[in-house]
Chains A and B, each alone.
Chain A
């Protein structure tokens, strides 16, 4: 493969990653509605299907985080990975991590104050923090890659 072939391959992966970030990020956000409508009700009995749904949610969050971390070039050749992980990609990823970090700090501060007044389960807090961290990182990256 020539340098131009590697560049073409990297450009295709970049376009596909852009689409996945946008679509999967929006679906991940939409899924939060079902979590709060169904799974987080006080009287909700945890069924096997709920456990599977929660496991799928965690796997989905990990997959999105992996996409943020690798830019979609995980199982590609070293040359293609180098193009996908160039200076611009690293800069965008650093911005995504920074925004995710600050969103988690803000949520932690809000939760610290809120739990003085209302009871919140550790599971709910973990869900909110994981979802916010993933969504902010994905949204930041999707926005920056659009330019």
Chain B
């Protein structure tokens, strides 16, 4: 999947909850770099990781991730 076609509100939601990247990484069980690359739209997470991120932030995948562009 093209990284530019997936937007996210991960950073916004994480900061809103007062979590650092390290905190979120520890909750989800991935590295800080993974959180960083997802936030900066360098890496497109799998459905499983997206669901785990949503669960860790007590929200839904649809609120965290959205499609960019018309297609």
Contacts and interface: CB of A to CB of B under 8 A. Distances in A.
A in complex with B: yes
A82 interface: yes
> Which residue, A4, A7, A11, has most C-beta atoms of chain B within 10 A?
A7
- Main SS at interface, chain B: helix
Contact of B30 (A4, A8, A83): A83
A7 B32 contact: yes
B45 interface: yes
Contacts of A82: 29
Interface residues of A, number: 19
A11 B31 contact: yes
A43 interface: no
Interface residues of B, number: 17
B37 A88 contact: yes
B49 interface: yes
Interface in B1-46: 22-23, 25-27, 29-34, 37, 42-43, 45-46
B26 A87 contact: no
Nearest to A6: B26
Contacts of A147: 37, 42
B34 to A, nearest CB: 4
A94 to B, nearest CB: 12
Contacts of A91: 43
A125 to B, nearest CB: 37
Interface in A95-147: 145, 147
